[in-house]
Each structure stands twice: as structure tokens, then as C-alpha cells.
């Protein structure tokens, strides 16, 4: 089934933060503070200044994007509306539903972008060209 949503379905969520004088900890566990079961975790780091990551959409994948260190902006786009979300705290994550184009920009020095994904890598789930994404959105009964 084709899933196309809008940027209003993507939200910043606050994760559990346990304060300790020796250092804080944030825990993400399946079934507690996620909207999906995590099947893949990856992180982006050493991103050169001025570089962008992302630049794609997913047909069925859900993600939670966290600034584990430093900061960056995530531009989300549903084909009609765009929004920029600034992430700079390791206890906040941006929940992204399928059918949303995303670009990650403005990485601070030393930033680490942690991504929890609902599925293992599948090239067939990606929409890598923006014109293909627009066609995908416009061919949807919701689009």
C-alpha cells in the first residue's frame, strides 16, 4: 500500500532524559518511546562544512532522527509544504513518516546525526530524485 503523508505528521518528540551529576542518559527502547520497532541504526559524522545529507524520501520507512552531538537542520517536504526543524539536543528526536522528502543541512562542527529506522536497508524503498518524489506524491489518492 502506498503511503503519502504531510509534514504535519512529522513531529519533534522528547525522549526520556535521566539526569545524573556524572552525566545524563537518554534511553530509547522498542515499545516505550518510539512509534515503531527499530530494525536499523546508523549515524552520520565528520560531515564537511556546507555539505548536505539525505536528499531522498522513503515509501514505507519510518525514522527517528536525533542530534546525538552538535546540531543540524532537517528540511522536511511533503511535495506541497516545507518545514525546517533545528535539532540540537540529544533528548529530542524528529519522527519522520513515509512519503516525506528530507534533507539534512547546516551541520555544526563535530555533529553526530543518529538515525533509528523501522526497517533494514532496502534500495527499493528509496525515492532519490525530487521529480520522482513529486510524481509519487501527485499520483497518490491523498496527493
Map 89-114 to HEC letters. CCCEEEEECCCCEEEEECCCCCCEEE
- Sign of the C-alpha dihedral, residues 55, 81, 11, 119? negative
Active-site pick, 8, 19, 56, 58: 56
Question: Quick one: 41 exposed, middle or buried, by C-beta within 10 A (0-12, 13-18, 19+)?
Answer: exposed
Q: Known catalytic residue: 58?
A: no
Q: Which three cell numbers stand for residue 140?
A: 497518490
Q: Which residue's entry shows cell 511535495?
A: 79
* Residues 30 and 78 sit within 8 Å (Cβ to Cβ): no
Closest CA to 72 of 101, 47, 91: 47
Catalytic center residues: 56
Amino acid at each position: 500500500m502506498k503511503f503519502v503523508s504531510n509534514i504535519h505528521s512529522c513531529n519533534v518528540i522528547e525522549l526520556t532524559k535521566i539526569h545524573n551529576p556524572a552525566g545524563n542518559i537518554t534511553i530509547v527502547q522498542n515499545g516505550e518511546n518510539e512509534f515503531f520497532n527499530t530494525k536499523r541504526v546508523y549515524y552520520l559524522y565528520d560531515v564537511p562544512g556546507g555539505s548536505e545529507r539525505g536528499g531522498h524520501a522513503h515509501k514505507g520507512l519510518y525514522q527517528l532522527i536525533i542530534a546525538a552531538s552538535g546540531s543540524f537542520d532537517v528540511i522536511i517536504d511533503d511535495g506541497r509544504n516545507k518545514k525546517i526543524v533545528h535539532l540540537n539536543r540529544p533528548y529530542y528526536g524528529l519522527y519522520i513518516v513515509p512519503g516525506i522528502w528530507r534533507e539534512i543541512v547546516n551541520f555544526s562542527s563535530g555533529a553526530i546525526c543518529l538515525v533509528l529506522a523501522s526497517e533494514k536497508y532496502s534500495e527499493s524503498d528509496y525515492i532519490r530524485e525530487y521529480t520522482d518524489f513529486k510524481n509519487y506524491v501527485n499520483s497518490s489518492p491523498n496527493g
